[in-house]
Structure formats: structure tokens, C-alpha cells
Amino acid sequence: MGIDSLVGGTIWDEYSNKVTNLMNNPQNMGEITEEQANDMNAKLIVADFGAESCGDAVRLYWAVDPKTDKILSSKFKSFGCGTAIASSDTMAELCKDKTVDEAVKITNIDVELAMRDTPDTPAVPPQKMHCSVMAYDVIKKAAAQYKGVDMESFEEEVIVCECARVTLSTLQEVIRLNDLTTIEQITDYTKAGGFCKSCIRPGGHEEKDVYLVDLLDEYEKEKMSAGATLGNDSGTSVDFVKMTIVQRIKAVDKVIDENIRQMLVMDGGDMEILDIKENGENFDIYIRYLGACNGCASADTGTLFAIENILKEKLSDNIRVLPI
């Protein structure tokens, strides 16, 4: 098992001191025998997990008290690089004295954080983050074996970025709420794609069902579809309910631009959309008056009534306009 090295030489400054120490001096490497488990009145669990992308593999041993489900002892054997050894050792340590249900909640992020010297400095280079993912997966494998279930039953949501544990629903929501258009923006907002980069597009360490480029493409098509609907002059109403938050804001802005804003500007004022929130069946649109409209006597009466009526007519009867 070799120590990690990269092109241009070994870059130890990208590894924490904890990681380099555990590479050479793991504390939990070894095995638990059936005899040892019996001496503890425990059930022996032996789980194997391998990462096809890099050829690394890990075997996890648990001695579990069947009365309390507590993990009395935890050891591992690693067949892979130095980072895999350090990650597996840390994973085994985190499992100790936890119940099986508690151990399943340990993620690769927890493993990586536990290997850091300081809270804000990553323990390993981005391209080695997948080693801690393998540690997380073998925990699920062991827990599934103990409980007699499929390991996939522990995943409540589809994970797109395994390294940062970012779900499909989170990515879809963040992209829509913030109108993201690039991979760099997604990484800034969620950290997805910032480590091994397998989730960005096909061709990385691991094959995915969904990639970040797919989500950006999906969102772009939604925007184009919404734009075509909003630009339709046939007089049909827009399905405001099915729009994303970004699409709703754009739809409201379009109606304001075409029907309201010119009158406000002529009087030295203006307005901006701050937020749109669903409140039961209603859509509460929060606005802020600008210029002469701010503090105007009719801003909360006639002007507000006109704005709300136009939006109800053009978009949805359930719209309420709330000035802030």
C-alpha cells in the first residue's frame, strides 16, 4: 500500500498532520475474530466495500451488542492508498460506542472533518475526497448486514455529489432560487463539484445517473419554456402555480414593466420585487417602493390596489401585494 503522490512530487502540505500520521500509524487497523466477539457477548459483522473508480477497498469489522445495538469494537483492513487507510481508521474510530443507527448517520463529511488539524483547512486534496466516501459506504454496508436490509434503504434522497453529500433536490432548488448558470456558481453555493469532480460531467472517477451539467441544461430548458409561455400573445393565462420562484419573479416583473412601471416613473417613483412566498393558496408578493413612491399617500391605497389588480388579472387571482 503506497503513500499518496501526485504529478510533480508528493504534496504533503495538502494533507493534515492527522492524515499523514494515520497513514503510517493507524490506530484501528486489524480484525475482530468470532472468538473475540463471543467473549464480548457480541455479534460479529464483517462488511466489504470497494471503489471501482480507484481500485481501493476496505473491510470493516464490528462487534455489536445485540441487546443494545451498540458497537463495542470497530476495526478495519484497507487495501488501497494512504488516504484510504487514514479515512478508514477515522471511520472505525467514529463508530465506536455508537449504536448501529447512530453509526449510519456518520457521513464522509464527518470523516473528513475529523481528520482536519484546524476547522477551516481541508484534511486531504480535493481529488482524494472519494476515499472518505468509501468509508461512509462501508458503514452502510455493515449496518445493512446487521439489520438484514438493503444498504440503499439508508439513503433517503438521491445524492448527486457524494464528496460533499449534496442531494438532487437541494441542487435543483439552489439552481432555481439563485438562477445559477455555471458549474462554478453551483460549487460556490453548495460545494458540489469542488472535490473529485465526478459529479460535474461524464468521465470522472465514478459514473453517475445525474450530473451537474444535466441540471443546468434542465433549468435552461425550463427558462426557455417559461419565456415562450410568457411571450405568448394569444391571451391564454400563465400557469403561475407551476412556475419556479425565479420564473414567478420574472413573470411579475414583466407585468409590472408592461403595465405599471411607466406610470410610476412619470411621477418620479418606481418599485422592486423583493420576494414571492406561498402562503396557503395565496402568493404573497413583497415589494418596495422607490423614489417619490416611497412615502406617497396613495402608495398603500390606490397605487397598491392598481398593482394588485393588474397582477391578479394577468397571472393569478390568488396574488396579494404587500409593500415593505
Catalytic residues: 54, 131
What single-letter amino acid sits at 198?
S
Vertex 156 angle, CA 154 and 157, to 5°: 130
* Residue 49: other Cβ atoms inside 10 A: 20
If we measure between CA atoms, which residue out of 311, 306, 182, 160 comes closest to residue 249? 311
Distance in angstroms between the alpha carbons of the first and the last residue of the chain: 63
| The residue to which cell 412601471 is assigned | 261
* Measured torsion, CA atoms of residues 196, 28, 77, 10, in degrees rounded to the nearest 10: 40
Residues near 132 by Cβ (< 8 Å), separated by ≥ 6? 87, 90, 91, 108, 109, 111, 112, 115, 124, 163
User: 3: alpha, beta or left, given left = phi > 0 and alpha = psi -120 to 50?
Assistant: beta
Beta carbons of 38 and 99 less than 8 angstroms apart = no
If we measure between CA atoms, which residue out of 176, 165, 182, 1 comes closest to residue 81? 1
Provide the β-strand partners of residue 291: 269
C-alpha cell at 63: 462487534
Provide the β-strand partners of residue 45: 62
